[in-house]
Amino acid sequence: MSDWTRGYVADVDYISEFHRELSPTHLSFALLTQGLRAPTANRRFRYCELGCGAGFSANVVAASHPDAEFWATDFNPNFAASGRRLAENAGLDNIHFFDKSFAEFAQLDLPQFDVITLHGIYSWVMAEHRQEIVAFIRDRLNNGGIVYVSYNCLPGLAQVQPLRRLMTEAAERAEGTLDRRIDAALSFAQRLAEHGAGFFAEHAAAKAHLASMPPMSRRYLAHEYFNFIWTPLYHVDVARQMHAAKLSFAASADMAQQLDRLCLSPEQSAVMAEAPDLAFREMLRDYILNQRFRRDVFARGIERLRPAEARETLKATRLALSVPRGRVTVGAEFPQGLFPFDSGAPRSFLDALGEGPKSLGDLMSAAELSDSAFAPALEMAMALVSSRQVQPARSRADAEAAAPSAHRLNAAILNRSRFDDHMPVLASPLTGGGIDIDRWHRLMLLARVLGRTDTIEFVRDTLRAEADANPVSERPLPNPEVLAAHKMFLDAELMPVLRQHGIA
């Protein structure tokens, strides 16, 4: 292993996922629900992503915010290069990629940032690198700026810690590529569990966790569990570290974490209310929910809105469906039970959103809710956002301004879909984030762009060419009837959503 990796898995490609929490619109909504104004209200903000992986999320966000400027670094040169290539293919000139470690990056001549994000980094690097990150935030975050940081946390992962150690030690002693060593480690741990090892007998959560791992992609497992470092953290410790850079906890980007009525029983809420400070309160929440992963937003001197202004701003905030109306689930499960979407006001909200993006105020009118029902209306909106079927959206003017650059990025993503399935998301000018689109649908959209009328044949030819070039892959070609059904779904259900997002 070469020196720069510092124990980090560097010999496996990363999956180009889009993490919606990296979208300024999502972060801004999370803050607004807590009565706080994000520093991205002005279009010309500066945004920095630390440990950006293959740079896909950073490109999606940069393409949909053409007036803002983006910096992204990842010490893996393959990742930084792949981010830069995608930006070049899309003609994005507002994003800069670097293959620098956090410490090297801090030495560059950089501006002050309004937003710094790090997803899947903080608990996967050594304490020394966490200190570098905090120092970077201390020196580079503007007053009024925010930091989004996600991390594996305790107590939810307490039982997984010894399981991971067992697997990394077994993988180290196995032969072959990392994929093979991961396979060997998984079956080794499984044998121990099956043979009644006391650890697994006593820790059912560890056994269940192990059982959930074999179907997961080896790339994901490599980055998630097989790094030299894997340190689940307590929120109080992260809050203390951020405090050293003059930041305080502002909100969770995980909307469910802000829906106390749906997540906590009245008795649990009462215990939490006894916490004398915010950090301890959040820690209690993690114990109540046995939290494994946190998505925290910290702020350095944020603007707190007056209650009436917060309400007015939230009522003016637009929301949009990110799945076809007919595919929205009947409800979402929360720790305190099912929150139904198929009746009453949530159903009216969804029907109205089926016609196009609407402000929360308009949704309340559609559901005939008066101003006194603002709190439950906001809870509904947050539950829908938390279910990932609705996203906060931007103003019409912002969406229009973002359309040209988002279209260029989407053209590059669609073209790339001819050769692999590495970029499963299209940039949405409407939300300033991304929307999941599977590969067959992306290829069908590409056929449209190319003016091909033989869509099904185009998709089959593309997949056949890929299979011919890669004889090891044994994936059968989808049959024309299955593709035709997908095309019907695309035309009838998905296209209206894509049009609302300004994607098609």
Residues that bind ligand SAM (CB under 6 A): 6, 8, 14, 17, 19, 51-53, 73-76, 79, 101-102, 119-121, 124-125, 129, 223
Smallest gap from Cβ 18 to ligand SAM, in A, equals 9
What is the DSSP secondary-structure string of 121-175? -TTSS-HHHHHHHHHHHHHHEEEEEEEEEEEEBTTTTTTHHHHHHHHHHHHHHS-
Minimal distance in Å, beta carbon 495 to ligand SAM? 29
Q: Give min distance, CB of 231 to ligand SAM, in A.
A: 13
We find the least distance from the C-beta atom of residue 220 to ligand SAM, in angstroms, to be 9
Looking at beta carbons only, is 6 or 281 nearer to ligand SAM? 6
The letter for the amino acid at 195 is: H
Q: Shortest distance, CB of residue 96 to ligand SAM, whole angstroms?
A: 15
Closer to ligand SAM by CB, 123 or 268: give it: 123
Contacts of 26 (CB under 8 A, 6+ apart): 20, 253, 391, 392, 431, 433
d(C-alpha 434, C-alpha 61), whole Å: 8
Q: How far apart are CA 254 and CA 260, in angstroms?
A: 12
Say if CB 428 and CB 400 are below 8 A apart: no
Q: Smaller CB distance to ligand SAM: residue 51 or 232?
A: 51
- Of the candidates 115, 143, 123, the one whose C-alpha atom is nearest the C-alpha of residue 41 is 115
Instruction: Pick between residue 96 and residue 129 the one whose CB is nearest to ligand SAM.
Output: 129
Packed helices 278-289 and 266-273: angle between N→C axes, nearest 10 degrees: 150
Q: Which is nearer to ligand SAM, 101 or 159 (CB)?
A: 101
User: Minimum CB separation from ligand SAM for residue 230, in Å?
Assistant: 10
The two tokens of residue 269 are: 């809420």
Of 76 and 455, nearer to ligand SAM (C-beta) is 76
The CB-of-284 to ligand SAM minimum distance in angstroms stands at 28
Tokens of 327: 């595919």
Distance between first and last Cα of the chain: 45
> Between 15 and 174, whose beta carbon lies closer to ligand SAM?
15
Count of residues making up the chain: 504
Helix (H, G, I), strand (E, B) or coil at 10: coil
- Answer yes or no: are the C-beta atoms of 146 and 31 closer than 8 Å: yes
